[in-house]
Amino acid sequence: MEYYKQYKSNHYKIRARMKYIISTIILLLFFIFTAMSKISERPQKKIKYSIVIHGGAGGIRKGRLTEQQEKDYKNTLTLALKTGEEFLKQDSSAVFVVQEVIKILEDSPLFNAGKGAVFNNLGFNEMDASIMNGSNLNCGALAGITNLKNPIEGAKIVMEKSKHVFLYGDRGQEFCIKNGATYADSSYFFTEKRHKQYLRAIKRDKVELDHGEIEDGSNEIKKFGTVGCVVLDSKGNLAAGTSTGGLTNKKFGRIGDSPIIGAGTYADNKTCAVSCTGRGEYFIRGTIARDISALMEYKNYSLKKAGIKTIEKLNSIDGRGGFIAVDKKGNYIMLFNTKGMYRGISNSEGFFCVEMYGE
Ligand code: ASP
């Protein structure tokens, strides 16, 4: 009996100790596991805001630009990025920053948008632009407008002050001016360089894109211009905008991809913000901007994977050009299948770069 009592008390002691050891082990494992999962989950330094711009893709390669021209492009792209960054530091909205940055590029004669817009077949400038707010999928676009100093400002007015998405021509322009857009006389858009391009295109009876190059035996000049901006703001909202003069010597009221939501411009907070440049017809056929977003939304692709897949699609339909995009985490891409693309990126982590040539 005594032995049994002793045995029982020992037995309880051992059980209690076992319980203690097991619960300690469980507790220890729990702490180790939590710590480990914290390490592996720890996000890479969070990007608070990010801004990416382009000034057109095409035959941009070393040796084609003078040192001064190179400097001018770099300076203007830098000014645009730095201005955008200042606004983003002050928590300005992505949509506002897209507008302000594109305005700088439109005011420069270097790019095929606003001041530097190319001439159409009848010898005047017809411009297209669009903007999209990724937080609510609201968007605004204008096509074939002639007298807005900053077409992107007009696109934002369409988005915010009309019940519509897409306006064209004189009546669209009139609506924008009534609602505060700045009017510019046609003479404002005259630049010697663009006029020469126009006269040459007329002579060759060619429709030309900006930033030219003769790339193949066909003697066809491949030129792409246009400006675009995509932004992630400090509140996590995305926006995209694109502005262009279209093609030199364009006829019949031709409209490209730049003002077409889903083709040249797209933004959705769930996925990314995109702006394209290149021969618009292919970007419209391929719904290039929307495709990048859709691959992320429906196939769970990363931005990079979606961009590469979409460039492959552009190649497969013989489209030439490129695009920029940023996602909700601040990841970005600047992809093109031409020789170069004027482009730049700046983010809250201090990463800054302006480039123009391909590898
Ligand atoms: N995408 C524009 C258009 O087709 C041209 C360009 O990017 O330069 O109108």
- pLDDT tens digit sequence for 258-294: 999 999 999 999 999 999 999 999 999 999 999 999 9
CA 208–ligand 1 middle distance (angstroms):
10
Cα gap 241→331, rounded to integer Å: 18
Residue 284 has a CB neighbour count (10 Å cut-off) of 18
For residue 224, give the ligand 1 atom closest to its CA.
8
For residue 211, give the ligand 1 atom closest to its CA.
8
pLDDT at residue 71 is higher than 80? yes
* Residue 101, H or E segment: helix 94-107
Neighbouring C-alpha atoms within 13 Å toward the C-beta of 300: 0
226 is catalytic: yes
Per-residue confidence (pLDDT) for residue 353, from 0 to 100: 97
Per-residue confidence (pLDDT) for residue 205, from 0 to 100: 74
For the entire predicted model, the pTM comes to 0.85
The tokens for 313 are 């699609």
Cβ < 6 Å from ligand 1: which residues? Answer: 56, 112, 209-210, 224-226, 244, 246-247, 256-258, 264, 277-280
Cα gap 283→79, rounded to integer Å: 28
pLDDT at residue 143 is higher than 90? yes
Q: 216 — alpha (psi -120 to 50), left (phi > 0) or beta?
A: beta
Q: Whose CA is nearest to atom 8 of ligand 1?
A: 225
SS3 36: helix
- What's the pLDDT tens digit per position in 202-253? 887 776 666 554 343 333 334 557 999 999 999 999 999 999 999 988 999 9
pLDDT at residue 1 is higher than 70? no
CA 119–ligand 1 middle distance (angstroms):
13
